[in-house]
Structure 1
Amino acid sequence: MKMNPWTLSVLLLLAGPLGADPDWHVEYPDSFCVVEGSTATIPCSFTHPAGHRVERVVWCTNQVFCNDITSTPNVYDSNVRADSRFQYLEDLVGNCTLKIIKTVKQDAATYLFRFETNYDNWAGRKGVVVNVTDGEVVKVRSSVTDHVVKEGGQVTLTCTSACSFHQLDVHWYRNGHALSETGPALHLSGLSNDDAGNYTCSLDSSGRNTSAPWCLVVVEDEGFHRSVHLKVAVVKGVVLAVLLLLLAGVVFAKWFSNKTKRI
């Protein structure tokens, strides 16, 4: 079967990406939103053929294949000391996550990941478009409509902004004091008066992007207290019953011992 050169060229062009080795792959989101001054983590994963050993990993910006360091230096290169604000969090096996610390306006760019093995190299073709925004109003939203929650109840507070927070570092504070919990959602359960106060969230530890306070008021729940008192009464009753049984056992043992001596 004969085929004209033009048709053959088109088929070869199409066969390139379609026939590419599926073992070579880089996966990350198409775009990413970051609030200026915050710390963000770009998720990334990669695969390569079995038997290959990764020897170098590179993250670059605004390049096609991450190999033109003369025009734009790489933000991370496992073989070269790079900007400490860009940290490679994972490994040389399959996770290529990149962390950007205290982002600035100049960090807005298209980020691309490239890795080299002992046989070949591969780069993620599309890249991640990172947008850096400023002036975002960070807010605390609540799972309850009112600020008042009964003792023993629960509430979930969420730190929100125009950017997606699934990969942003979020810090939580109560009355200005940092909490150990981090992440976009703060879950509070079994509430007591100690949990009451003003809650704020921030996108970084410096408090530059901090929300307005959300006030939580915890009120006494009579039903809750009746339940607690009932449980305490039951426990006291059980303890008393056990003590009476022990006392009765001691008395019986002493009586039986005396009776035996008389016989």
Structure 2
Amino acid sequence: MKTNPWTLSVLLLLAGPLGADPDWHVEYPDSFCVVEGSTATIPCSFTLPAGRRVERVVWCTNDEFCRRLVFNVYDSSSVRAYRRFRYLGDRVGNCTLKIIKTVKRDTAMYRFLFQANGRGYPGRIGVIVKVTDGEDVKVRSSITDHVVKEGGQVTLTCTSACSFHQLDVHWYRNGHALSETGPALHLSNLTNNNTGNYTCSLDSSGQKTSAPWSLLVGEDEGRFGWRLTVSVVLKVLWAVFLLLLAGLVFAKRSAPGPEHETVYSEVVG
């Protein structure tokens, strides 16, 4: 009896899960939330028996066995590529997937499958990815006051209704992009240059941007007191100098000139 190639493929895929072999395993989170327009990464790892060589890796949506007839966001055996989905893994044990600039239709159940020596194994539990509007992006601070002394530190965190695990976050000060990225922005050894309005965004275009959080870096009290003392001393010295200069000028003007001495001599003679 002839076996349909498609049926044979499904049977090979079933061989992994039904075998319940602990050496065949895929590990990733159950679910997480993604803000529309952001870039998210699905962490993933897999194991297989020693001596096996991985021939094919696949990421698919809403399908238990990642068959070729369904929408596969990544397939190492296909020349068709989807630019927004990038495979960051390998064929050894890393199966991480990156989704760039997520849209609402990316909401789905994502599943990873790998094939080795004619045997296929899809992850038993897929990753449920939910894409939301993310309109409540906010900046939270590690301090309650917006004023920090010079030399101090503060940590700003970008938050949303979604978890920011594995999300790309961009930071701005007064509208200018900072080199730092990630959910948390650590600022230390603060100076007046750090003063400004800080915002965070979930994509490089800045469409999902938080309300600004203002930071004011003030002078250290000890340093300010020293500067004040020096300033007072300089002002006092300047005042003394001006008084001495005025006294010399007045004394010079009050002294008798040569004409007065001549007239005095003629009268005496």
Same fold (TM over 0.5): yes
CA distance in 2, matches of 1:227, 1:124: 66
Residue type at the aligned position of 1:120: R
The residue number in structure 1 matching 2:73 is: 75
CA distance in 1, matches of 2:128, 2:134: 20
Say whether 1:49 aligns with 2:69. Answer: no
Residue type at the aligned position of 1:28: Y
The residue number in structure 2 matching 1:26 is: 26
The residue number in structure 2 matching 1:168 is: 167
CA distance in 1, matches of 2:134, 2:150: 37
CA distance in 2, matches of 1:60, 1:117: 18
Residue type at the aligned position of 1:35: V
CA distance in 2, matches of 1:216, 1:183: 19
Unaligned runs of 5+ in 2: 1-15, 228-269
Offset of residue 92 of structure 1: 1.1
Contact 2:73–2:82 (Cα < 8 Å) also in 1 = yes
Offset of residue 25 of structure 1: 0.2
The residue number in structure 2 matching 1:115 is: 114
The residue number in structure 1 matching 2:95 is: 96
Contact 2:62–2:109 (Cα < 8 Å) also in 1 = yes
Residue type at the aligned position of 1:82: A
CA distance in 1, matches of 2:121, 2:19: 15
Unaligned runs of 5+ in 1: 1-15, 229-263
The residue number in structure 2 matching 1:179 is: 178
CA distance in 2, matches of 1:196, 1:17: 57
Offset of residue 136 of structure 1: 2.5
CA distance in 1, matches of 2:17, 2:119: 17
CA distance in 2, matches of 1:75, 1:152: 49
Alignment identity in percent? 77
Offset of residue 82 of structure 1: 2.2
Aligned partner of residue 223 in structure 1, secondary structure: helix
CA distance in 2, matches of 1:119, 1:65: 15
Contact 2:17–2:122 (Cα < 8 Å) also in 1 = no
Contact 1:89–1:96 (Cα < 8 Å) also in 2 = yes
Contact 1:65–1:125 (Cα < 8 Å) also in 2 = no
- Please tell me whether Structure 1 or Structure 2 has the larger radius of gyration of its CA atoms: 2
The residue number in structure 2 matching 1:152 is: 151
Contact 1:34–1:133 (Cα < 8 Å) also in 2 = yes
Q: 1:86 to 1:223 in 2, by over 3 A?
A: same
1:226-241 to structure 2, matched below 5 A, reads none
Aligned length: 211
Q: TM-score, normalised by structure 2?
A: 0.75
Residue type at the aligned position of 2:171: W
Offset of residue 18 of structure 1: 9.5
Offset of residue 62 of structure 1: 0.4
The residue number in structure 2 matching 1:196 is: 195
Offset of residue 118 of structure 1: 2.5
CA distance in 1, matches of 2:166, 2:144: 27
CA distance in 2, matches of 1:136, 1:209: 7
Q: 1:53 to 1:19 in 2, by over 3 A?
A: closer
